[in-house]
């Protein structure tokens, strides 16, 4: 279980868990997992990427690595907060519409509770410098966590030169040219659909 | 009435937010401040600051806060439901579509193009956060410690966030 990364790096496209059947997620487990993720999504939705990766892909094994990338693609193409979009999609994949409702509720509940408390105590907290100092410390760690997520997610996905070029182009367009991520994902999807081959096997997963 | 208006206004904000919470801030500004006159710019700035330093998606945080300010706890809940409704509906529709075409070659090709782009987007997010996070020697030291904890010690991301928050509270205050 511990060699979660290197063990299956050879198996190529068709990467299901050993048995081929992902473990069943209960509605309650979905709710609590996303509650935990929501409570720690600090400093923008992307922090949630390593958290979800750890909880749902590695620890619980609810979805495999390739599907996780697809979830992220949809989450970035649809409007709305990344965290909420991801919760909806993962919940739906695992337990249908009710699963989507449970994971969404779990994901937004910590925010609602915390913000209501903060709003009620607004004047005291805005001058509370330890809180701001703590968040100044969290932000650099967020950068590291996102980089580590990019590496983990990227390793099985970016294997050919074309894939590397696509990833690099997407990064530059979004980070420096400020193109909307939704546009970039859509363009990349169209490229995959119409270009001869991206992954070297005709783009087929089967 | 105010509750319904809060719901509708924030549903509009949720519907037109692409690319993460920060993209939503100008929309809130035009809809809530200039459109509805519900908040002053000054109040809005405070809300953004709070939304940034509290856990949860910034879109959800701002919605809860604005709603609470205007109509109490129920207002906070209605605004939040409003901001997530478009996401839930649209993502569910996309998920159903993806499931329907699960085994199509077309979808496999679409995915083959999207997957590398997503990796690029995550890298872009790291760069964007780095610009505001890595501003001095202290913040870079915290990043170095975090890198050690993540890549060598292989700690849980949540523990890494907690440790760096503690470091920040000690170093920056």
The ranges assigned to domains in chain A are 1-132
Inter-chain contact B157–A166, Cβ cutoff 8 Å? no
Instruction: Please indicate, yes or no, whether residues B156 and B129 belong to a single structural domain of this protein.
Output: yes
* Structure confidence by residue, pLDDT tens digits, A10-26: 333 334 444 555 667 89
A196 to chain B: closest CA residue: B109
Boundary (domain end) residue, out of B50, B68, B100 = B100
Instruction: Please indicate, yes or no, whether residues B46 and B123 belong to a single structural domain of this protein.
Output: no
Instruction: Please indicate, yes or no, whether residues B28 and B15 belong to a single structural domain of this protein.
Output: yes
Inter-chain contact B111–A205, Cβ cutoff 8 Å? yes
Instruction: Please indicate, yes or no, whether residues B88 and B138 belong to a single structural domain of this protein.
Output: no
Instruction: Please indicate, yes or no, whether residues B120 and B79 belong to a single structural domain of this protein.
Output: no
The 10 Å Cβ neighbour count of residue A43 is 23
* Structure confidence by residue, pLDDT tens digits, A151-206: 988 888 899 999 999 999 999 998 899 888 888 888 999 999 998 776 554 444 43
pLDDT at site B163: 92
B108 touches chain A (CB under 8 A): yes
Question: CA–CA separation, A158 vs A42, rounded Å?
Answer: 28
Count CA within 13 A, CB hemisphere, residue B93. 8
pLDDT at site A122: 66
Domain of residue B20, residue span: 2-100
Boundary (domain end) residue, out of B71, B100, B129 = B100
Instruction: Please indicate, yes or no, whether residues B86 and B148 belong to a single structural domain of this protein.
Output: no
**How many structural domains comprise chain B?**
2
Instruction: Please indicate, yes or no, whether residues B83 and B167 belong to a single structural domain of this protein.
Output: no
Q: What share of chain A is helix, strand, coil (3-state, %, to 5)?
A: 70, 0, 30
CA distances from B97 to A52, A89, A96, B84 (A): 23, 12, 13, 20
C-beta of residue B53 within 8 angstroms of C-beta of residue A115: no
Instruction: Please indicate, yes or no, whether residues B7 and B65 belong to a single structural domain of this protein.
Output: yes
**More reliable by pLDDT, A78 or B93:** B93
pTM of the entire predicted model:
0.76
Using a CB-CB distance cutoff of 8 angstroms, which residues of chain B are in contact with residue A166? 113, 116-117, 120
**Å from B25 to nearest chain A CA?**
12
pLDDT at site A205: 44
Question: CA–CA separation, B107 vs B168, rounded Å?
Answer: 45
Instruction: Please indicate, yes or no, whether residues B7 and B80 belong to a single structural domain of this protein.
Output: yes
**Tens place of pLDDT for every residue, chain B, 173 residues?**
889 999 999 998 888 776 555 566 667 777 877 788 887 877 777 777 777 667 777 788 888 988 998 899 999 999 999 999 999 999 999 999 988 888 888 888 888 898 899 899 889 888 888 888 898 999 999 999 999 999 999 888 888 888 998 999 899 87
Sign of CA dihedral A140, A143, A88, A90: negative
What's the distance, CA A146 to chain centroid?
10
- Calculate what percentage of chain A has a pLDDT beyond 70: 79
Instruction: Please indicate, yes or no, whether residues B84 and B15 belong to a single structural domain of this protein.
Output: yes
Inter-chain contact A114–B156, Cβ cutoff 8 Å? no
What's the distance, CA A121 to chain centroid?
32
Best CA proximity match to B31, nearest among B83, B98, B89: B83
pLDDT at site A204: 43
**Å from B104 to nearest chain A CA?**
9
* Structure confidence by residue, pLDDT tens digits, A27-45: 999 999 999 888 887 756 6
User: Which of A51, A89, A206 comes nearest B95 by C-beta?
Assistant: A89
Instruction: Please indicate, yes or no, whether residues B10 and B95 belong to a single structural domain of this protein.
Output: yes
Helices (H) and strands (E) in chain A, counts: 8, 0
Instruction: Please indicate, yes or no, whether residues B91 and B144 belong to a single structural domain of this protein.
Output: no
Predicted complex ipTM: 0.79
């Amino acid at each position: 279980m511990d060699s979660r990364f290197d063990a299956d790096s050879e198996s190529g496209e068709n990467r299901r868990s050993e048995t081929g059947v992902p473990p069943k997620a209960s509605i309650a487990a979905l709710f609590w997992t996303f509650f935990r993720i929501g409570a720690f999504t600090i400093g923008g939705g992307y922090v949630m990427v390593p958290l979800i990766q750890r909880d749902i892909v590695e620890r619980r094994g609810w979805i495999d690595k390739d599907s996780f990338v697809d979830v992220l693609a949809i989450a970035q193409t649809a409007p709305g907060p990344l965290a909420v979009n991801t919760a909806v999609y993962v919940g739906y994949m695992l337990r249908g519409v009710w699963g989507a409702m449970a994971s969404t509720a779990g994901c937004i509940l910590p925010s609602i509770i915390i913000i209501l408390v903060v709003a009620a105590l607004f004047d005291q907290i805005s001058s509370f410098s330890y809180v701001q100092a703590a968040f100044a410390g969290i932000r650099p760690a967020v950068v590291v966590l996102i980089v580590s997520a990019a590496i983990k997610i990227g390793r099985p996905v970016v294997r050919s030169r074309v894939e590397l070029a696509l990833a690099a182009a997407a990064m530059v367009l979004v980070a420096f040219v400020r193109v909307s991520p939704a546009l970039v994902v859509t363009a990349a999807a169209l490229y995959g659909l119409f270009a001869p081959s991206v992954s070297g096997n005709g783009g087929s997963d089967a | 009435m105010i509750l319904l208006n809060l719901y509708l206004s924030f549903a509009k904000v949720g519907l037109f937010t692409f690319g993460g919470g920060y993209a939503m801030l100008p929309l809130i500004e035009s809809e809530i401040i200039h459109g509805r006159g519900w908040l002053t710019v000054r109040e809005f700035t405070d809300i953004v600051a709070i939304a940034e330093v509290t856990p949860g998606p910034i879109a959800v945080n701002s919605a809860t806060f604005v709603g609470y300010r205007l109509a109490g706890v129920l207002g906070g809940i209605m605004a939040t439901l409003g901001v997530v409704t478009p996401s839930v509906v649209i993502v569910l529709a996309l998920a159903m579509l993806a499931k329907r075409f699960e085994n199509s070659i077309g979808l496999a090709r679409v995915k083959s193009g999207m997957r590398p782009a997503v990796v690029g987007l995550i890298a872009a997010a790291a760069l964007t956060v780095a610009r505001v996070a890595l501003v001095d020697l202290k913040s870079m030291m915290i990043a170095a410690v975090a890198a050690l904890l993540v890549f060598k010690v292989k700690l849980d991301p949540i523990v890494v966030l907690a440790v760096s928050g503690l470091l920040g509270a000690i170093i920056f205050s």
